[in-house]
Structure 1
Amino acid sequence: MKIIKIASVIILGCLVSCKAQEKQLTTTSKTYAEIAVKEGGKWEGRKYIGGTFKNVQKLKLAPEHTDHSFDIRYEGPGWESNKIGYRLYLDWRNAIDIFGKKTEAIVLPQVGQDGFDSYHEMSDWGADILKAGKGIGIGSIDRYLNNERLHFYEVDATVATVKNTTDKSIVKVDYTGWKTVSDKINFTSELTIKPDQRYTQHTIQASKAIEGICTGIVKQKNTELLKKVSSNKKWAYIATYGTQSLVPDKLGMAIFYETNTIENFVDAEFDHLLIFKPTTSKISFYFLGAWEQEKNGIQSQEEFVTYLNGKLEQLNAKNKL
């Protein structure tokens, strides 16, 4: 009996320690990434009924999963710094959305817990502030051919993993058998966020060099398109600024890219798109949002441009952020 009691105390101690470590991660860290899936319920067609959310390190999409299936908290993986948060629609849309934060605390563990769409309403921590609509969101991936974005309608398997360390948080998504037109490829997307930064570094790689792989910024009304190339011509940015958040209030969005990786810029119906040159090599670029209500947030287009130009100078000098 004494041995059993000792074992029970050890197990209980481990559970308490694990919970304490998780709590410490979300209360002391400046970055965080997560993905939460429901368990204990059941599929009824394309909807998941019942169940409770459980955070996991790795998730393979269920074959039934599509947009608004209710099986993944806030529809996909999320990642944040102490400045801003993002989420990826882990379905055919494959768009990236922005969580505007009014606090520098880690907030994602509480987002979407009290109602599937509650994060669209302004709260003490902030809210979902970007309407992606039919657009690409900010910094996500699609394929653009013949004046059409082709989306991720046909994928054999999609696996998302998350990782948190002391100096960064990472979301990685592996798409196996992504079919568009007559091409079927494997594709990897890795999203990394660091402390005290708004930007996400997005590193992508295709198994086959195909035309039309793209990223971009969703078009919104009341915005101005901004562009600039670095002094050494190796880096550039596209950006928008204006009253384009869902609040509505001021929001800036930008993508920094290596000029030699881009084949074309397209002013599409719903998006400002950057079309990558066909390659099987890894490509890295950076995207960011800057919301006026964040702590010590950027308050004007002039401030936003100054901030972007500073990042561009850093890329010009060091070739990385």
Structure 2
Amino acid sequence: MITSPIWLPATLIAGATQAWRTALQRRVSQSLSLNAAGLVRYLYGLPFALLLLAGYQALFPTPFPVLGPLFLPFCAAGGLAQIIATNLLILAFGHRNFVVGTAYSKTEAVQGAILSFLLMGETLSALSWAGIGCGVTGVMLLSTGGKRMGPMDFVRALGQPAALTGIASGFFFALTAIGIRRATQQVGGGDPVHAALIVLCVTVALQSLMQGGWLLWREPGEMRRVFASWRVSGQVGLLSACGSACWFTGFATAPVALVRIVGQIEVAFTLAFGHFYLGERMARSEVAGLLLVVIGVALALAGAL
């Protein structure tokens, strides 16, 4: 159920911001461990998340809303699911067939649609379902990086560690979206943007405690490196906070699967930028994947109207 048209621009901005943040986080991950690189986006993102909430509160002064009894559990569950999903995705990169792992992680939109129906009763039109299928197929094609991989190649790869970790990553990313959506529904007041920012601040704080506590326990030496990387990590935190604020706003105002499939337009923007601005050549499979993503987004939007 769509409660506000703000979900569409918020989702598009979230996709663009995520691409930028990911590029910066890759630089950080070169000098940090898996968990340390993950902590950066939460620890450095928390101050900016608090600033966003304070700024919104100053622009639209309202009493702090009443929080439901399940608010904290949903924030914690969504935050933990995101930590697990991110780690699984990085593990998928590390396997021999990382292309397959990445591609299977893109089944998140389909898994999200199924889980949101089972757990929250969210339904989509047939046109939106067609858009999800089209978009996921397109992103999987783009994930091959131009390599020739037929449908049976993906089927045969189902038993590979890369495929299993990729599917698991998509599953936990879908759970993240559902946890965040349920958390925003626990915030009273009727302002979905305000609710999204409150959920963002609490979730990022909990993620900083969870992953920071793990890092102090298992890799105490990495904490020093996290603070030493503040110049780039601060930028990662800023982009992460802004992107998550937009994602959370999308989840607060539209079905999970719809937000995720529209957010995949980020992949199309990235590929188009590389081709038209950087002069990179595109393989036929990438062109087909790009068209499928765009068609998928258009169908999903048409089905939502």
- Provide the TM-score with structure 1 as the length reference: 0.20
Q: Which has the bigger relative contact order, CA under 8 A and spacing at least 6?
A: 2
TM-score normalised by the chain length of structure 2: 0.21
Greater Cα radius of gyration, structure 1 or 2: 1
Structure having the larger proportion of residues in helix: 2
Q: Between Structure 1 and Structure 2, which shows a larger proportion of strand residues?
A: 1
